A and B are shown apart, each in its own frame.
Chain A
Amino acid sequence: MRRLLILFAALLLLMMGYKDKIDIEDISLSLLVGIDLDEENNLVFSSSSPVFSKEAREKEEVYTTQAITLRKSRDKDDKTVMALTTGGKTQILLIGKRAMQQKGWFKMLEPYLRDPKNTLNVRIVMVDGFSYEVLQYAPKDKPRLPLYLFKLLETAAKRNITVSATLQDLRRATFEKGMTATVSEMRKDGKVFVIGSALLDEEGKYKLSIGEEENRLLRILQQQTKGEFQFTYKAADRPKGEIFPANAYSFSTEDISVKTKTNYADNKFKFDIHVKIRVVLAELMFPIDVRNEEKKLTREIEQQFEKKFDKFIDKVQQAKIDPIGLGLYARAFEYEHWKPVQKRWGEELAKADVNVKVKVEIAAMGTRK
C-alpha cells in the first residue's frame, strides 16, 4: 500500500513537469515563412500553414504581418490563426531580395537558431521580388505550395541548377571567415521558377546571381560533385547551322574529381585547381568520328571548360566574395599568410591567382557512332 502511494506521488510529481504537449491537430505548421522589407523599409513577415479541417475549402492559410521580429510576428499570427503557430516543420524560408541586400538580415532568423524545437533543415531561398507574392501563389495543377516548392528545389538541386542550402549550411558559411554563403534563388513570374543561386558577401548581403551553368561550375569548384552535371557547348570551329544549331553538343559527367593546391608567392595567394572529368556524350549535332578524333574533341571540351571557369572566377573575384571556400584552403595550408588577411579575405582573394586546369576523358559516346 505504501509503495503504491509512493509510486502515485512520484507520478503526480512528474506530471507537474510536463507541459509541452500539443496535439498534432492543434498545431499550425508554418511550412513556408517569408521575410521581406517593403518599400518603406518595414519588416514584413508572412507564413503559410496547412488547414486540416474538412469543412475549410482553402487548404492553406496565408498571413502577412508587419512586425519588428519573426517571433513578434507569431503573436500577430496567433491572433488570427486557428491553431498554435510553430516552426518545427518549416520547409522553406523565403527571403526577399530587398531584405537580403541589407546588412544583418541574418539576425532575423534567430528563433530558428535558438529554439531547438525549430528545424535547422529549412531551405533558404532568396526571392527575386517579394516573398509574400510567392506565398500567395496557389496553382491548381500542383500539390500544396510548401510541398511543391520543396520538391521543386530538391529536384533542381539534384540537377545542380541551384545549390541546396539549408539554414545549417547558411549558418556555417555566415560565421566562417574562409567562405561566403550561397543560397537558392527563385522568382515569381506568373509561375514560380528556380533561377539559380544567389551569392552573398561576407556580411551576408546579396552580391550577385548566377544561373544554372555557373551554378554547376561553382558546385564543381566546391567539390560538391553529387548529382548530375549537364553541359551544352557550342564548338567554336564548326559552322553554326541555319535553323538548327549544327555546332552544339551536350554531355553529362560521370565522375568528377577536384584537387586544389594552395601556394603563397609574391604577396598573393595562388590556387591551382585540377578538375578531372569523365564525360558521357548525350548529343552531338555535327559529324565527328569520336573514336579517331577523340583527342580533338577532348581538347575542345577542356578549353571550353577552362574558359568558363576563368570567367566565373573573375566574376567572383570582382565581387570580392568566396563562395568556393578557397579561404578554407588558405587557412589550412598557408596559415601565417592567411591570419593577417582573414578579416578581409574577399579582397585578398580578388588579388589571388586562381588557375583551373581541366582534364577531360570521354567515357562513353552513346550507342551511335
Chain B
Amino acid sequence: MFFFSKILNQKRYQQKEEQTKSNRQQNQSAKQDPLSQDLSQNIEEAKRLFPLSPDLVIYRFVAGAEKAPVALLYLDGLTDKNAINNHILNPMLHNPSEVIQGMPIPSISGVRTVSTWDDVVAAILTGESVLLLEGQQQAWIYDTKGWPQRAIEDPQLESSLKGAHQGFVETGMQNIALLRRYLPNNEFRIKEQLVGQRGRSKVWILYLEDIANPDILEELETRISKVDVDALINTGELAQYIEDSPNSPFPQFIMTERPDSAVSQMLQGRFVVIVDRSPGVIIAPATFTSFFQSVDDYSTRWQIASFIRLLRFTAFMIAMLLPALYIAVISFNYEIIPLQLLLSIAESRASVPFPPLLEAVLMEITLEMMREAGIRLPAPVGQTIGIVGGIVVGQAAVQAGIVSNIMVIVVASTAIASFILPSYDMGMAVRLLRFPMMLMASLFGFIGMVIGFMTLIAHLVALESLGTPYGSPLAPFRWSDMKDTFVRLPLWKMTDRPKSARPTQDIRMDSKRPKGDES
C-alpha cells in the first residue's frame, strides 16, 4: 500500500512539475511578440498584458508639428512624476520642434528603443516609461524610475559610535553608490546577475579585481546562478540558498547594513553581494572570528579595541556556557564552589521545587520571550518590557520560589553577554546553542559540557564558507592573522591582508608610520 501510494504521489508530483514548467515558458513566449505598427492595436495589447492594473497609466496625445498620435505608458507609483511631466510631456506638447520625424527627443538621459513586448513589459515593470508612436514598430523607453524610497539612515541593527551614520537602503543602485563613494577606484568591479523567476531580483557581486580571489568569485557566481526561486525578498534568503552548510546554526556569511564595514571587508579581499530591494548585504567568505569584529574596533585606540575584542570572546563563552555551568555545578560538582557561595545557593535552591535544568530552561525561555516581545512592540511600549521582565518576573519569581536568585543572576548575565556580540546572527546562534549545552550539563555535568563544547569546536573546524575554512585563523592556524583576531594590534602593524580571505595581493600597506614631528 505504502509503496503504491509513494509511486502515485511521485507521479502526481511530476505532473504538477511539468505543468508549472510549461506555464512559466508560456508566460515568457507570449511576450516575445513584436510590436505592431498600429498604435491602437498596441494599446489594446498593453491593456491585455496588464489586466486589472489600475496603476498603469496610458496617456494618449498628439505630439510635434506633424501632430503624430502617441501614447505614453508607465506605472503610476514606480515612476518619477516630475521627470515625466517636465522632461517628456512638457517639451513634446509645447515645443513641437523637439519631435523630429517621429523621433521624440525629450531632455532626459537613458533613452533606448525596443521592439518586443517582452522588453516593453519589463521596462514598465521596473518604473521606466514607454512611448509608443503611430506607425512605428518600436517603442522609446525613458528612464523615469522613481519608486517610494527611504532616506539613508543610521543602521538599526549594527549601531556604531564612531563609524559612519549611513546605512544601506532598499535600492541596490544606491547601495552600490554608497560603496563607490569609499572606493573611487577602477579595480572596483560589479557583476550583475538576475535571480528569481517572478521577482527578477538583481544581484550584484562587488569586489576589487586585483585583490579578490578569482576562484572564490567563480564559486560565488555559480552558486548564485543556480538559485532558481520565484523571488528573493531578502538577502538572508539568498544566503540560505548559497551557503555551504545550511544545517549549521552558525552564520557562514557576514550580513551587514553598514557600507563602511562592507568596504573594509572588500579591502581585505572579500566579496560583497547586494540584493536589490534588501537593505542588508552579504560579505563572503566569512570566518568565525570575523563575527567578533566591529567597525568601531578600527577607529578606537588599539588597546581599547583589543580589550573590547577579548570582552566579546568572553561574552561568547558566558552566553553559551554560564547556564550550563550553573547546572553542572549544582547537580554534579558542588565541590568547586566556595563554601559561602555554596551555602547561599543551596539556601536559595531549597525552596525551588524544580530540578536545575527545568529551572534554567524556564528562566531562559522567559528571557527569550521578553527579548522577542521587546522587538515586536512599538518603542514606547517596549520599555515596559524591561520593567515587567526585570522587576516583576525576576523578583516575583524568586519570591514565589519558582527560581533561585542565583539563577536570575545567571540568566541576566547571559542575556547581557549575548547582547555584546556585534553580529546579530552570531548572537542568535549562541542563544540557540545554550539549550543543548544546558541539556548536556544536566545529563552528564562537566563531562557533558566538555563533550558538547568539543563537538561544537569540531563542527566549527569542519565548517566552510564558500570553500574557505571557517575556523581560520585558529584552525588552520595562521599566526600572521592573529594580529586582528583576539586582539587588534595597531593598524600600522597589520601590513598584510588577512590570509583567511585568500586575497591575491597580500601587502596592504607600507609599515612605516610617520611619528609626529619626525621629518
Residues of chain A touching chain B, judged by Cβ–Cβ distance below 8 Å, are: 14-15, 18, 20-25, 27, 29, 31, 50, 52-54, 88-89, 91, 117, 119, 144, 146-147, 150
Contacts and interface: CB of A to CB of B under 8 A. Distances in A.
A50 B335 CA distance: 15
Contact of A23 (B335, B342, B355, B443): B355
Given A23-B356, A147-B339, A147-B340, A52 B349 contact: yes
Contacts of B93: none
Considering the complex of A and B, which 5 residue pairs feature the smallest CB-CB distances, nearest first? Answer: A52-B350, A24-B330, A88-B335, A25-B349, A25-B350
Contact of B332 (A21, A54, A146): A21
A22 B346 CA distance: 12
Contacts of B340: 147
Interface string B313-344: 00000000000000000111011000110110
Given A22-B331, A25-B346, A88-B334, A31 B351 contact: no
A29 B349 contact: no
B445 interface: yes
B339 A23 contact: no
A166 to B, nearest CB: 15
A117 B331 contact: no
A117 B335 CA distance: 8
B444 interface: yes
Contact of A24 (B346, B351, B444, B445): B346
Nearest to B344: A52
Interface residues of B, number: 21
A274 B352 CA distance: 61
A273 to B, nearest CB: 38
Given A24-B346, A89-B342, A144-B343, 11 more contacts: A18-B444, A18-B445, A24-B349, A25-B349, A29-B346, A52-B349, A54-B347, A54-B350, A54-B351, A88-B334, A88-B335
22 contacts: A14-B444, A18-B443, A18-B445, A20-B445, A21-B331, A21-B445, A22-B331, A23-B331, A24-B331, A24-B342, A25-B352, A27-B346, A29-B346, A52-B343, A52-B347, A53-B350, A54-B351, A89-B334, A89-B342, A144-B343, A146-B339, A147-B339
B332 A50 contact: no
A266 B443 CA distance: 68
Given A23-B331, A24-B345, A52-B350, A91 B339 contact: yes
A338 B356 CA distance: 58
Chain A interface, DSSP helix/strand/loop, else mixed: loop
A15 B443 contact: yes
A145 to B, nearest CB: 12
A22 B330 CA distance: 8
A147 to B, nearest CB: 7
A18 B330 CA distance: 15
Nearest to A18: B444
A89 B331 contact: no
B435 to A, nearest CB: 15
Interface string B344-370: 011101111001100000000000000
A27 B342 CA distance: 11
Given A50-B346, A53-B350, A147-B339, A20 B443 contact: no
Contacts of B351: 54
A144 B340 CA distance: 10
A52 B340 CA distance: 13
Contacts of A14: 443-444
Nearest to A17: B444
Contacts of B332: 20-22
A150 B343 CA distance: 15
A150 B335 CA distance: 16
A279 B51 CA distance: 105
Contacts of A54: 347, 350-351
Contacts of B339: 31, 89, 91, 146-147, 150
A143 to B, nearest CB: 9
Nearest to B347: A52
A286 B342 CA distance: 52
A53 B335 CA distance: 20
Contacts of B355: 23
B276 to A, nearest CB: 39
A214 B330 CA distance: 44
A354 B163 CA distance: 76
B198 to A, nearest CB: 34
B330 A23 contact: yes
Contacts of B352: 25
Interface in B45-69: none
Contacts of A88: 334-335
A27 B343 CA distance: 11
